[in-house]
Chains A and B, each alone.
Chain A
């Protein structure tokens, strides 16, 4: 297998991990399980409502930086980084 191929697989693995979290916080916590989570509270927020209107957005921001940080490491590991 060429090094570029294993680089691409490492990228896809990381991406799958990040997108799973992306899906969990928005579609699962914010929509599909919202009624269940609304039984719990975060201060004055019902938890499902909080995920839909606040929490998912914070997680999105963290996810992108996490992806960028891990990808930089993967770029270097497979020696495909920019100069």
Chain B
């Protein structure tokens, strides 16, 4: 069967599956809509969390980033997994014990303040909305490349699919669909990796293959890769750092606390039946995430090796451009791969030296998508990768949309503006808000604002600098009152935005950068993307200082803190 037909079968087959699950798991109460009735088994919740967490960026971009950054790409691997350790120990069990529906609701209760709750809603909406634009773009691109439909039509199909199961099922529908999406995604990611690992090293486990010898030689794969890339003038693969050591440290820490502070991840732990389940569910989530994250470095390194090997099979014997393989031509058409014959010899030179390099564009994102084609894998594997990429983007988009709509319908409407709203009214309102969020996300996906590229980094920075410290202090200190918390959040968020906007322009608008004569990364050589940890430190420091003046939280709040620190007495699970 040809690739096109196979891809249609895989993609629409999986969509059909998601719809069937959504119909079976439709929500009938606000508890089901927001937190799936708090009855999801920890292992299943872990799987859903994995799908929720692993976005189009994890599935498509991460291995490509690692392929070109080498060791420096480790910041993403450690940062996006280590956050779950923090989540499991510092946040999830206590937030679950408190037993509410949303993250801003917890912040509002703990800091006995509508202002704190509204500040949290604002952080949440900015962080989630910027994140969801990326997913919408991912959906459009995946449809465009694999089904050769227009970007806009691809986007509309994606919006329609999310609408059906997110609006119908709320958290309950989303959770069970995400479980299916996780299975599709992990299968699609590992199958090509296993094939390629077998081809190169003879090991079916990519994690072991990466540390093994190349088939038929006595040379380790990573040593070979180091040799090839340094010969071409690139930095050595296994030691290339991302900026300074301090920058890597700050980057990793920012991603970790950002991960632990992202509301759409935290709220997944409201769906499990008990505190005990919240702890183990974080472990299961990381198991399912680690399955992909430990394969990704192998995918990256092997893709880099295959790419260089295709272009220069043996030193000096460069590929003749006229004889380039089909996948090369396909990706040239998309503009993500560009060749320019600078020395006019008709052959391809791919080297680090900008003057001599003829591969003028090699987009990092094509590494995962083109990998099966580069390795000559069968068509069904390529079709599978398309379905997997869509599953990754759809599952994350749905989780984010729920975070946005619940914070508006539950925190702003029921919590602040329309306090008397009935449960039926709230359920209807959350469905309407969800629909509007999908339309807005679709609009932003169609007309990406100029700042779209830098936005995911901004989401992590905000979560790290505002939400994570507020939650952590709320649990671990009884001294932080509402004024201290609000001052801390505003200061942490403010300083992070300032540093990012200083480098990339106000709201990422070109020409509005204001470095004021300071060199790039002036603060200790730290990249703006790695600045969240500095914002978090500022948040902690300001909150501590203000609490010295305002004094500890009132007695009833101190009792509330004591209550959510112990598991006994958590709300019983709702059966479904």
**Chain A interface residues (CB < 8 Å from chain B):** 4, 7-8, 11, 15, 18-19, 22, 26-27, 30-32, 34-35, 38, 42-46, 49-50, 52-54, 56-58, 60-61, 63-65, 67-68, 71-72, 75, 79-82
Q: Is B4 an interface residue (CB 8 A)?
A: no
Question: Please, which residues of chain B bring their CB within 8 A of the CB of A44?
Answer: 210-213, 220-223
CB distance from A29 to the nearest CB of B (A): 10
Number of CB contacts from chain A to chain B under 8 A = 139
CB distance from A76 to the nearest CB of B (A): 10
Q: Number of B residues whose C-beta is below 8 Å from A?
A: 51
Cα separation A58 to B68 with both chains bound (whole Å): 24
CB distance from B471 to the nearest CB of A (A): 15
Q: Is B467 an interface residue (CB 8 A)?
A: no
Binds A, one of B74-82, B377-385, B439-447, B503-511: B74-82
- 24 residue pairs A–B, Cβ–Cβ below 8 Å: A4-B562, A11-B565, A22-B82, A32-B249, A34-B71, A46-B239, A49-B222, A49-B239, A53-B66, A54-B207, A54-B294, A54-B297, A56-B81, A56-B82, A57-B78, A57-B81, A60-B290, A64-B282, A64-B286, A68-B88, A75-B568, A81-B567, A82-B276, A82-B570
Q: Which of B71, B84, B222 lies in contact with A64, CB distance below 8 A?
A: B84
Given contacts A45-B222, A61-B287, A81-B568, contact A52 B78 (CB under 8 A): yes
Q: Which of B223, B293, B565, B566 lies in contact with A57, CB distance below 8 A?
A: B293
Q: Is B418 an interface residue (CB 8 A)?
A: no
**Residue with the greatest number of chain A CB neighbours at <10 A, chosen from B208, B221, B239:** B239
The 10 closest A-B pairs by CB, nearest first: A44-B220, A52-B74, A64-B283, A43-B211, A68-B279, A44-B211, A53-B297, A80-B566, A45-B211, A80-B568
Q: Is B432 an interface residue (CB 8 A)?
A: no
Question: Please, which residues of chain A bring their CB within 8 A of the CB of B290?
Answer: 57-58, 60-61
Contact A43 B297 (CB under 8 A): no
Given contacts A43-B212, A75-B276, A82-B570, contact A64 B85 (CB under 8 A): yes
Cα separation A58 to B81 with both chains bound (whole Å): 10
Q: Which of A7, A53, A68, A75 lies in contact with B77, CB distance below 8 A?
A: A53
Contact A19 B89 (CB under 8 A): yes
Contact A68 B283 (CB under 8 A): yes
CB distance from A18 to the nearest CB of B (A): 6
CB distance from B96 to the nearest CB of A (A): 11
Question: Please, which residues of chain B bring their CB within 8 A of the CB of A11?
Answer: 565
Contact B238 A49 (CB under 8 A): yes
Chain B residue at minimum C-beta to C-beta distance from A63: B85
Given contacts A56-B82, A60-B290, A64-B283, 11 further A-B contacts (CB under 8 A): A18-B85, A19-B85, A43-B211, A44-B211, A52-B74, A54-B297, A57-B77, A61-B283, A64-B84, A64-B282, A82-B569
Q: Is B403 an interface residue (CB 8 A)?
A: no
Contact A81 B245 (CB under 8 A): no
CB contact list, B209-228 vs A, under 8 A? 210-213, 220-223
Contact B280 A68 (CB under 8 A): yes
Chain A residue at minimum C-beta to C-beta distance from B569: A82
Question: Please, which residues of chain B bring their CB within 8 A of the CB of A71?
Answer: 93, 276, 279
Interface 1/0 per residue, B535-576 and A, CB below 8 Å? 000000000000000000000000000100111111000000
Q: Is B102 an interface residue (CB 8 A)?
A: no
Interface 1/0 per residue, B480-514 and A, CB below 8 Å? 00000000000000000000000000000000000
Chain A residue at minimum C-beta to C-beta distance from B288: A61
CB distance from A16 to the nearest CB of B (A): 10
Q: Is B252 an interface residue (CB 8 A)?
A: yes
Contact B286 A61 (CB under 8 A): yes
Chain B residue at minimum C-beta to C-beta distance from A78: B566
Cα separation A63 to B443 with both chains bound (whole Å): 42
Question: Please, which residues of chain A bring their CB within 8 A of the CB of B275?
Answer: 82
Interface 1/0 per residue, B246-263 and A, CB below 8 Å? 001100110000000000
Question: Please, which residues of chain B bring their CB within 8 A of the CB of A68?
Answer: 88, 276, 279-280, 282-283
Contact B566 A7 (CB under 8 A): yes
CB distance from B86 to the nearest CB of A (A): 8
Cα separation A22 to B516 with both chains bound (whole Å): 39
Cα separation A54 to B252 with both chains bound (whole Å): 15
Question: Please, which residues of chain A bring their CB within 8 A of the CB of B78?
Answer: 26, 30, 52, 56-57
Cα separation A64 to B289 with both chains bound (whole Å): 13
Contact B238 A18 (CB under 8 A): no
